[in-house]
Amino acid sequence: MNGDALLQNVVNIFIIAIILEASIMAVFSVSALKGLDSNRAIESTRDILIIVAAFFLCYKVVQLRVFPRTGLAVPQIIDIIISTLVLSRMTIFIRSLMAKFKGED
């Protein structure tokens, strides 16, 4: 297994997770949505939007997948699903980290 390629793939996913979280935050910070309280429905909608966007990004962009160039023989759909889950989890982690810096929760 090529560990350098795996590390580079994870770093690429982390960078895209930062960009994805910034873009999702921009959508949910529209002035029409500011009046709504941050309840579970809004959080679930945000999470679903992140997962769908992560899936399409991982499906279309090969560089955002975890296992290319590592030497592991993983089926493409499994690679896409794992990459989607990693990207969405990193995005949610970045959101919670930014919320702590803001002092929201």
What are the sequence ranges of the domains in the chain?
A: 3-102
Ramachandran category for residue 75: left, alpha or beta (phi over 0 → left; psi -120 to 50 → alpha):
beta
Give the pLDDT score at 92.
87
Give the pLDDT score at 33.
58
Per residue of the chain (105 residues), what is the pLDDT tens digit?
A: 678 888 888 888 888 888 888 888 877 776 555 666 667 777 888 889 889 998 999 899 888 888 887 888 888 898 889 889 999 989 888 888 888 887 765
Q: Tell the residue number behind the tokens 């970045």, with chain if given.
A: 94
The four Cα atoms 10, 15, 20, 23 give a dihedral, to 10 degrees, of: 180
CA distance 7 to 48: 27
Give the pLDDT score at 65.
85
